[in-house]
Amino acid sequence: MTAPFVISRVLDARRDKVWKAWTEPEHLEKWWGPKGFVVTRCKIDLRPGGIMHYCLRSPDGSDMWGRFVFREIVKPERLVWINTFSDEKGGITRHPMMQDWPREMLTRVTFDELSGKTRVTVQWTPVDTSTEIERKTFEDGRGSMQQGWTGTFEQLELYLAL
């Protein structure tokens, strides 16, 4: 079993506000994704079995689609989903720049209340069906995951400060 990638950030916002930023398209569109990326489309069916389907436009203008299939929703404490890259129609695809990246990732996000602030913790783990090559690519990619999630949290912080 591969150890999860874990990253956490304490945000200067109440938990209900942070929860809405993670679960409502009109909020996600303003901050989701690595620094420099922009959400161009986002639809959410927030229920177990429901799907979030989105498109990120990279700084070079190319589009990257993704999708979540929600497994668990405990408002305002926890979201759990299977994360995949996607095509425009919602089908599962490979990572556009790393073909050996795990096809499916289990994502667990927790929201802990801290006296008016919120600690968000993200855990990412390749699903059990990942190949040995995919798990190695995941292990080798921890630095880029750290960079990507750090930029995502920075965008969220800026959005919440508005």
Contact 107, 122 (CB under 8 A): yes
Rounded to an integer, the average pLDDT of 140-160 is: 96
Residue 18 pLDDT = 98
Number of DSSP helices (H) and strands (E) in the chain, helices first: 4, 8
Rounded Cα distance, 135 and 117, in Å: 34
Q: Record the tokens describing residue 158, joined without a space.
A: 């800026």
Residue 129 pLDDT = 87
Question: Average pLDDT over the chain, rounded to whole?
Answer: 96
* pLDDT band at 135; cut points 50, 70, 90: very high
Does residue 1 carry a pLDDT above 80? no
Rounded to an integer, the average pLDDT of 2-14 is: 96
Rounded Cα distance, 60 and 45, in Å: 29
Rounded Cα distance, 47 and 121, in Å: 20
| Type of residue found at 67 | R
Residue 29 pLDDT = 96
Burial 107-116 (b: 16+ CB within 10 A, else e): bbbbbeeeee
The model's pTM is 0.95
Rounded Cα distance, 156 and 122, in Å: 13
